[in-house]
Amino acid sequence: MKKFGKLSCLIIKKKHLFIALLVLLFVISSIGVFFIVNTVNGETYINTIVIDAGHGGIDGGSIGYSGTIEKDINLEYSKTLKNMCSEFGFKVVMTRTNDSGLYSPFAVNKKKDDMKKRKQIIEKAKPDIVISIHMNSTQGKSSRGAQVFYNKENEHSINLANSIQKQFQDKLVKPRKTAQSGDYYIVNCTPYTSVIVECGFLSNKEEEKLLLSNDYKNNVCYSILCGIIDYMA
Which residues does residue 48 pair with via DSSP β-bridges, in sequence order? 91
Question: Does residue 67 sit in helix, strand or coil?
Answer: coil
- pLDDT tens-digit map of 103-137: 999 999 999 999 999 999 999 999 999 999 999 99
Residue 233 to residue 228: CA distance in whole angstroms? 9
Mean pLDDT (the chain) is: 88
Instruction: Over range 40-57, report the average pLDDT.
Output: 89
Query: How many angstroms separate the CA atoms of 117 and 114, rounded?
Result: 5
The span from the CA of 134 to the CA of 55, in Å, is: 8
For residue 152, the SS3 value is: coil
Of the pLDDT bands very low, low, confident and very high (cuts 50, 70, 90), residue 12 is very low
Are residues 73 and 202 in contact, defined by beta-carbon separation less than 8 angstroms? yes
pLDDT digits (tens, 9 = 90+) for 82-97: 999 999 999 999 999 9
**pLDDT for the residue 32:** 40
Q: What is the pTM of this model?
A: 0.85
pLDDT band at 43 (very low <50, low <70, confident <90, very high): confident
Can you tell me the mean pLDDT for 73-86?
97
- Give residue 18's pLDDT: 56
The pLDDT confidence band at residue 4, using thresholds 50, 70 and 90, is very low
Reference 219, options 182, 167, 180, 143; nearest CA is 167
Looking at residue 87, its pLDDT comes to: 93
Rounded Cα–Cα distance for residues 101 and 115 (Å):
10
pLDDT at site 39: 74
pLDDT category of residue 6 using cuts at 50, 70 and 90:
very low
Task: Give the model's confidence band at 10: pLDDT under 50 very low, under 70 low, under 90 confident, else very high.
Answer: very low
Helix (H, G, I), strand (E, B) or coil at 127: coil
Confidence of residue 233 (pLDDT cuts 50, 70, 90): confident
- How many distinct helices (H) and strands (E) make up the chain? 8, 8
* The predicted structure's pLDDT at residue 58: 96
pLDDT at residue 140 in the model: 86
Number of domains in the chain: 1
pLDDT(224) > 80: yes
CATH assignment at residue 209: 3.40.630.40
Domain span holding position 24: 2-232
* pLDDT score of 29: 45
Q: When comparing pLDDT for 51 and 25, which is higher?
A: 51
pLDDT at residue 121, rounded to an integer: 98
Cα torsion through 88, 94, 98, 103, rounded to 10: -170
Query: Is the pLDDT confidence value at 161 over 80?
Result: yes
Does residue 30 surpass a pLDDT of 50? no
Any residues with CB less than 8 A from the CB of 64 and at least 6 apart, and which? 70, 73, 135, 137, 202, 203, 208
